[in-house]
Amino acid sequence: MPELPEIIVIRNDLINVLPGKKILSVKTFNDYPLNPSKSHFDKYVLNTTIVEVLNIAKLIVLKLSSGYYLCSHLKMTGNILFNTKDEYVKISLFLNGGDELHYSTIRKLGYFEVWDQKKLDSYTQKIGKTALEANLEASEFISLISKKKTVIRNALLDQSLISGIGNIYANDALFLSKIHPRTKANTLTQGQLKILFKNLQFVLNEGVKNRGSSMNRYKDIFGIQGSQQEHFWVYGKKGNVCTHCKVGKIEFEKVNGRGTYYCPQCQILPQTA
């Protein structure tokens, strides 16, 4: 699933090509539905201009001159493509100047929908701040996490607390912070949480710098893969020798059904956890 770095890459690229573009027509493929309806697309999308591109955590938002928004969450297999397409395109926007914007997905978990201001505000209120772009302060992070009785890896993935962090970047940040993924969040010291926040920002910024991690279907809007997967610290490295202690071998286990990687030498689970 694209996480915050991948969404930021997509957003930044779209900012360079979409504002000022007029939507001339919309086409769907394989009977893919337009939500909330085709009539909404016809009324609030057709012949409108894209005035702004932004993101709210993992949600990509195109603000339209009609006052409505095109909102897309890519979930596990979604892509937004500009002037390129693949066999899984479900919705296409045809723009002035001959440009095209495509929403592609294999599964129907993601969405590309028309939202009004009320729905966008409701979505925003349900999610936490992001750890990038001066949104979440270290003191807020410490206050939020220190109250949680769940394991720290699950707390990091709770989008109502902090939005945008997914499994890959949570694993790597915990490794750099020498915190076992199953440590109870409320047992961590303020010093540990401060280090963890710093490392979260580091790995997320690293992901943006390397234009995202292409583990599954993720590509940028031009159909090009990112390279962050070549820079993972611990994710996907089961059996490898730890790059920190040079002794432990990376172990793998499932925590709440999600693949979790850690070094048993560097990331020791406290006995009270």
pLDDT tens digits, one per residue of 216-230 = 789 999 999 999 999
Measured between alpha carbons, how far is 171 from 261 in angstroms, rounded to an integer?
6
Q: Is the pLDDT of residue 261 over 90?
A: yes
Q: Is the pLDDT of residue 204 over 60?
A: yes
Q: pTM for the complete prediction?
A: 0.94
Q: Is the pLDDT of residue 231 over 90?
A: yes
Measured between alpha carbons, how far is 171 from 235 in angstroms, rounded to an integer?
6
Q: What pLDDT was estimated at residue 109?
A: 84
Q: How would you label 163-177 residue by residue, b for 16+ Cβ within 10 Å and e otherwise? A: bbbbbbbbbbbbbbb
Burial bucket for residue 187 (CB in 10 Å: 0-12, 13-18, 19+): middle
Using one digit for the tens of pLDDT, what is the confidence trace for 7-39? 999 999 999 999 999 999 999 998 899 999 999
Q: What pLDDT was estimated at residue 272?
A: 62
Measured between alpha carbons, how far is 112 from 103 in angstroms, rounded to an integer?
7
Q: Which domains does the chain have, with CATH numbers?
A: 4-126 (3.20.190.10), 130-262 (1.10.8.50)
Q: Among all residues, which ones are annotated catalytic?
A: 2-3, 58, 258
Mean pLDDT of the chain: 94
| Element spanning 167, H or E | helix 167-176
Q: Is the pLDDT of residue 273 over 80?
A: no
Q: What pLDDT was estimated at residue 202?
A: 97
Q: What pLDDT was estimated at residue 16?
A: 98
Name the 3-class secondary structure at 50. strand
Residue reference for tokens 């920002």 = 201
Q: What's the pLDDT band for 84 if we cut at 50, 70, 90?
A: very high
Measured between alpha carbons, how far is 60 from 257 in angstroms, rounded to an integer?
27
| Beta-bridge mates of residue 62 | 53, 70
Name the 3-class secondary structure at 91. strand
